[in-house]
Amino acid sequence: MSDMTFDRMINQMTPAIYESLKQAVSLRKWPDGRRLTPEQTELCLEAVIRYEVENNVPEENRVGYLEQRTCGASATGVGVTPEMAGLARDATRD
């Protein structure tokens, strides 16, 4: 076995390898079509997240990023109606 540690692997990971691992996690498949095992998925995801942190990948480009959206009052103090939030009609208002 080689002397490659997880930390060393992250430090030597190229952007192309990062993208490949990110795609593998997303599809749950290696580029050649073989399925990732749960253990492989976990390790690849950890590697992707560590790479993003170590290389200061912008938050909005990171794996699992969700844009903050609320249904409460906006910065202007105006609330969002259920219709604007994409919710069904509120039957309690009938």
Q: Which residue bears the tokens 């390898």?
A: 17
Instruction: Name the 3-class secondary structure at 3.
Output: coil
pLDDT, tens digit, 9 for 90 and up, residues 9-55 = 899 999 999 999 999 999 999 999 999 999 999 999 999 999 999 99
CA 28 vs CA 49, 76, 94: distances in Å: 16, 43, 47
Within a domain: residue 11? yes
Residue 57 pLDDT grade (very low, low, confident, very high; cuts 50, 70, 90): confident
Within a domain: residue 77? no
Within a domain: residue 29? yes
Output the average pLDDT for the chain: 81
Note the pLDDT of residue 84.
65
Within a domain: residue 94? no
How is 31-79 classified by DSSP, letter by letter? TTSPBPPHHHHHHHHHHHHHHHHHTT--GGGSTT------SS--TTS--
Within a domain: residue 87? no
If one counts the domains in the chain, the total is 1
Within a domain: residue 82? no
Note the pLDDT of residue 90.
52
The range of the structural domain enclosing residue 44 comes to 6-61
Within a domain: residue 73? no
Within a domain: residue 86? no
